[in-house]
Amino acid sequence: MFLKVDENRAQNELECFHYCADLAEKEFKKENYAKSAAYYEDATRSLYALERMQETKRKVDQTWFEIKQAEGQMAIDKMIHEMRGTS
């Protein structure tokens, strides 16, 4: 889900999201709407941070896949070239 380097930060953001969402709900029930909104904004920031880390992982995985495809094609091209040269 996340890059290894982002795992600790992602865990912190997940905990922050749940904490803030819980506080927002509690403040909402007490009709403290401004406090509730502030907590929801903090929770939203954590979600955006998680989304950015997830997107980074997706891009790295896609790039890795493309590199491996290119390496495979280069190996095939080399074998074909060598086979033609030895015929």
| Residue 26 CB neighbours (<10 A) | 13
Q: Tell me, what's the pLDDT at 35? A: 98
CA distance 73 to 87: 21
Token digits of residue 5: 């380097």
Eight-class DSSP state of 4: G
Identify whether the C-beta of residue 53 lies closer than 8 Å to the C-beta of residue 3.
yes
Q: Tell me, what's the pLDDT at 81? A: 86
Residue 78 burial (10 A CB sphere; 0-12, 13-18, 19+): exposed
| Residue 54 CB neighbours (<10 A) | 15
Q: Tell me, what's the pLDDT at 86? A: 59
- For the chain, the average pLDDT equals 94
pTM for the full model? Answer: 0.77
- Average pLDDT, integer, range 13-26: 98
Query: Read out DSSP for 65-79?
Result: HHHHHHHHHHHHHHH
